[in-house]
């Protein structure tokens, strides 16, 4: 009984890690631009594909096992982060910034974000076709067993990565210059150029960080659940977004914990009910939380954005 419970906790932590990493990307962009970047889930999907293509390329030159497997991962991660960041910055430049500079209402920007997501999904469909792709296995699976609870090295990697990302983001936002500018812009965008700081520099930095997080999540997700398809980012992106809102969007801690909360709720439901009921019950619970506390679980009434 206890073993089963602990096993579920491990699984919940792993899923929560994925939700959190994606939710943090939503949270950063929302905090800085007040934009719900609905394309973020699809950026995650593209990142998984970039990782897939790049790993395939590397495996032509080196074996995907043992130390080499880790080397492949160590090269793939930064490359995917850079390419995905370029995509994120490109999207901001061609789709969001022109609207911002014309003073468009937020509604139009959100709709644009939805359309960007659809373009990414269908662009992917055009390139890779409808059949799903299999992410190659690069890390030799190692299973650790503690008191009957099994945990793979990959799960450990996922969970540790999510926590490291969270600590890193907290440090950047609270201790660095650009982080302070991000906090400031979330409170008052008008005041930023008055301090001599170019607004667009803060925005581009935010998209680089957010897209890099999606890239890490995409590669790790591909390694954990190796079947890739063009729509994989949609549902997980929505879920992560909802998790961020329920946690308290605009607050890094809120988005991070919201992701884990969703992970735990889902896994607990699956362990007691049929998995068909997972999303129904999970989102009913989240709905109730939001109705009771519209600012989100960890959110504050206003002001403390990112």
Which residues lie near another protein (CB under 8 A)?
101-103, 177, 180-181, 183-184, 186-188, 190-199, 303-305
Q: Which two tokens stand for residue 183?
A: 């906090």
Minimum distance, C-beta of residue 306 to another protein, in the bound complex (Å): 9
CA gap 257, 15 in Å, rounded:
12
CA gap 170, 1 in Å, rounded:
37
Minimum distance, C-beta of residue 199 to another protein, in the bound complex (Å): 8
Minimum distance, C-beta of residue 222 to another protein, in the bound complex (Å): 37
Residue 81 or 202: the one with the smaller Cβ distance to another protein is 202
Residue 141 or 175: the one with the smaller Cβ distance to another protein is 175
- Which residue, 81, 88, 148, 79, is CA-closest to 113? 88
Residue 108 φ then ψ, to 5°: -65, -35
CA gap 183, 171 in Å, rounded:
12
Burial 37-72 (b: 16+ CB within 10 A, else e): bbbbbbbbbbbbbbbbbbbeebbeeeebeeeebeeb
* Contact (CB, 8 A) for 18 and 165: no
Minimum distance, C-beta of residue 109 to another protein, in the bound complex (Å): 14
Residue 201 or 293: the one with the smaller Cβ distance to another protein is 201
Minimum distance, C-beta of residue 185 to another protein, in the bound complex (Å): 9
Residue 126 or 195: the one with the smaller Cβ distance to another protein is 195
Residue 152 φ then ψ, to 5°: -85, 160
CA gap 68, 119 in Å, rounded:
35
Residue 180 or 234: the one with the smaller Cβ distance to another protein is 180
Minimum distance, C-beta of residue 164 to another protein, in the bound complex (Å): 25
Minimum distance, C-beta of residue 255 to another protein, in the bound complex (Å): 17
Residue 60 or 302: the one with the smaller Cβ distance to another protein is 302
Residue 99 or 139: the one with the smaller Cβ distance to another protein is 99
- Which residue, 293, 17, 306, is CA-closest to 169? 306
């Amino acid at each position: 009984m206890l073993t089963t419970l602990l096993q579920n906790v491990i699984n919940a932590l792993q899923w929560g890690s994925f939700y959190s990493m994606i939710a943090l990307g939503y949270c950063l962009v929302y905090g800085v631009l007040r934009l719900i970047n609905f394309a973020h889930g699809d950026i995650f999907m593209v990142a998984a594909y970039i990782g897939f293509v790049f790993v395939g390329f590397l495996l032509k030159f080196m074996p995907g096992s043992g130390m080499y497997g880790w080397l492949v991962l160590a090269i793939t991660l930064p490359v995917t982060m850079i390419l995905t960041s370029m995509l994120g910055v490109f999207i901001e430049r061609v789709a969001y910034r022109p609207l911002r500079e014309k003073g468009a209402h937020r509604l139009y920007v959100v709709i644009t974000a939805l359309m960007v997501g659809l373009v990414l999904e269908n662009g992917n469909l055009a390139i890779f076709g409808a059949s799903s792709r299999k992410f190659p296995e690069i890390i030799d699976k190692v299973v650790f067993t503690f008191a009957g609870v099994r945990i793979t090295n990959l799960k450990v990697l996922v969970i540790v990565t999510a926590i490291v990302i969270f600590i890193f983001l907290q440090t950047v936002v609270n201790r660095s210059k650009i982080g302070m500018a991000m906090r400031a812009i979330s409170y008052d965008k008008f005041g930023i150029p008055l301090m001599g700081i170019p607004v667009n520099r803060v925005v581009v930095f935010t998209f680089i960080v957010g897209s890099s997080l999606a890239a890490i999540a995409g590669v790790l997700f591909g390694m954990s659940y190796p079947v890739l398809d063009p729509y994989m980012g949609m549902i997980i992106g929505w879920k992560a977004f909802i998790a961020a809102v329920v946690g308290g969007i605009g607050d890094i801690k809120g988005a991070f914990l919201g992701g884990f909360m969703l992970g735990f709720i889902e896994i607990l439901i699956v362990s007691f009910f049929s998995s068909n009921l997972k999303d129904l019950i999970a989102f009913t619970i989240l709905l109730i939380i939001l109705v009771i506390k519209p600012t989100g679980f960890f959110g504050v009434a206003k002001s403390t954005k990112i």
